[in-house]
Structure 1
Amino acid sequence: MTEPGLWQGLALLQHELLLFAGLFFLIGALDDLAVDAAYLWLRMTVRAVTPRRSHGALLRRPLSGPVAVLIPAWQESAVIGQTIRHLLETWPQPELRLFVGCYRNDPATLGAAIAGARGDVRLRLVIHGHDGPTTKADCLNRLHAAMALDEARSGRSFAMVVLHDAEDMVDPGALGLLDESVAAGADLVQLPVEPLVPRHRPWLARHIGAHYCEEFAEAPRSAYQPDRPSQ
């Protein structure tokens, strides 16, 4: 085979492979397109109506029962204090109990958690009996055991358990929305997270945060619509 013929054969092979690759990508996207088409049809026929809630009605809403918030923390000294302080100030309901799981070989996180609580008696600081790190599931199991002990001592069962990350800031109306949904019969409630770009951070950290913004922007919009301007 001459050299021009060889190149023509390779070009033909390239086009054939591109055709097959495009076909397989199209087949793989059909399920996503089907979901999008079904949603658009339901919206157009007014069969899928997103309920709207007023942010003002959810602020400082009295809870229907005791609530436990669980936060596992390993080497989170840089963020856990601010998270605890913001959560306890933003959710002032007395029925709230905040369980934070720390490790005995992580005194920095332990100290930051104590400082962040500022003496708030609603904090339950749980120290894991083993050196960290273990797994988040293991720490959550330890927090669950502490929660069960708290229920036994108080004689009251928690009506709702909220899982929270050590670095996330809570919204003032989120707890009221969760409580309202659970009281209405929901077994599980998940709220979307709004990512914030850390503009004061170095270049790499800013672009990592921007990546999360792009990922979350593709997620469904929340049914919870604030009636106040964003901060």
Structure 2
Amino acid sequence: MTRIDENQESIARIRMAIDEYEKQRTLDEKEEDNLEESSNRSAITSASWRFGAPERITNSRAFTDILKALGHSIGDFDTMLRDFIAETFPGERITYEQHIQVRPFKCAHITYQSLEDWRGLRDIVRCNPSFHKQRRQDCVLFDSDAPGMSFARLSALIRCTLESKRQFDVALVQTFKPSKWRPNTNWAGCQVHEQTKEYSFLLMDYVIRGALLRGTTKERLHYLVDTIDADMFLRADKVTV
């Protein structure tokens, strides 16, 4: 009887996650037309992403306090960003006196090619402290050299402008790493990922699509819900964790 209860609990958790995902997708679709007609569009054009719902422009030093006010346990955002720029754009010589302009956004439109039928599809991923009065920090699948599938939870969507006039779009994220933990009710293709505590930057160029990860009974451990659509199922089916 206990085994049956465990099976039912696992199924119920996954079903609730899918229902919530479909509810959020419906809200996204209703707002899609408004975003398309809005003047609040991203100034940077890309074949694979576009930011939406811009917020007030600030600078990298002030943004640390903004993140902490939102509950993020982050260190010195300005230093982290400067180190990231030095590593990613070695040609940029940024001195401490130079300011880095930061403009946060609340959502991003991600375009990708479906593995099901090769059609172009689009996800709307959000990083919003109050989306319909609820905090929302979506997850994304991104390209990396690590084996398996790489996921990250969005903490901020940011456009950075340097004094050299270079602009780039980046996400402040907490990445996931594969976990060997498995529930008592294991199933074929079960993937469990652990959300790290550390923050890092992810260029939007590497984001593939949105993803749904559902929390388990263990802190920081999440199931990958690969049944949200055929594309995600096919991507997960190719991977053995």
When the two structures are superposed, what TM-score results if normalisation uses the length of structure 2?
0.28
Q: Higher strand fraction: Structure 1 or Structure 2? A: 2
Which protein shows a greater Rg? 1
When the two structures are superposed, what TM-score results if normalisation uses the length of structure 1?
0.29
More contact order relative to length (CA 8 Å, sep ≥ 6): 1
